[in-house]
Structure 1
Amino acid sequence: MQERFRKWFPLRAGESGLVLTLGFILFANFAAMGITKVVSVSGFLSEVKNHYILLVWAVDMVLLILATGVQSLIVDRFDRVKLMAGVLLVFSILYAILPLAFLSKGFPASASYTLIYLLNDQQWRFFPVVFWILVNDIYDPGTGRRVMPVIGVLHLLAPLLAWASPQ
């Protein structure tokens, strides 16, 4: 059994801690994205008229252009670990604040679902770039060929969790 595990996950001594940490970060990110995508789309379609989705998509594309511009300016100027920590912190804070919009009586649910959708799409585009640049900086190409599939396997488990989670 251990031999099969080592064949599937060819980690050397001392690599498992960092690989599992990076895998957990990727897993948690994609699990959160999967769950919030389902919530945002289903909530948006139930609370808002369908033709407004075109407006949301237009706003999303403008945000994409702005986020890509910001990303190209900052990604090479900051320490990768600090940048990753900052990205995780910003998304965590935004996801922690967003439920308050649903609890507020004066804030429409349609706007809350729209904000979740927009945040999710920005996370979908921004996080993987920063994450894989960090992983690329940590590992040399030879080691990367061994450890990146292990990190990727943990990523593949996240959609299964999101799909199986109760809505």
Structure 2
Amino acid sequence: MSGWGVRVIVLLAVVGSYWLVYQHGRSVERAEAATASAQRDSGDRLAEVLGERDARAEEQRRTQAQEDARAHAQEERTIADSGAAGADAAGQRLRDEGAKLAATVSCPGTDTAAIERGKAATRAAMVLSDLLSRADARAGELAVAYDKARIAGQACEASYNGLTRPAG
């Protein structure tokens, strides 16, 4: 072999070794990129799982807050209904007593002026008894409506607060 052939072989050997080093560098770079990508994907998946878990926990907290608000409102309605029934019974007793009083306001006797005054007093007592009865019934209706509105408002507020306030 001549000097020229040796040079070509050496040159090819040098170029070949550079080519092999370059290819090795690329494969190492690809392996590092694949490792980094796998780590990033693993981190992304972990963040996704944690996010889903936190979202489920928040959804459960909100659902529980809604259920607590609903249960408390039901308790309040039961208490208000019981109070209204007691007030209705007391109002009925008051109306009955007023009617009895109005019925007994007559003046027995022989004096016609006294009898007429007794009849007028009886009519006035009956009107007042009827007025008391109506006023008491209306007050009862208004109290029931107020209780319902108050309980609904409190339930709405508790429900809203359960949805908007963070857990803690």
Fold shared per TM-score above 0.5? no
- The structure having more radius of gyration, on CA atoms, is 2
Please identify which structure carries the higher helix content: 2
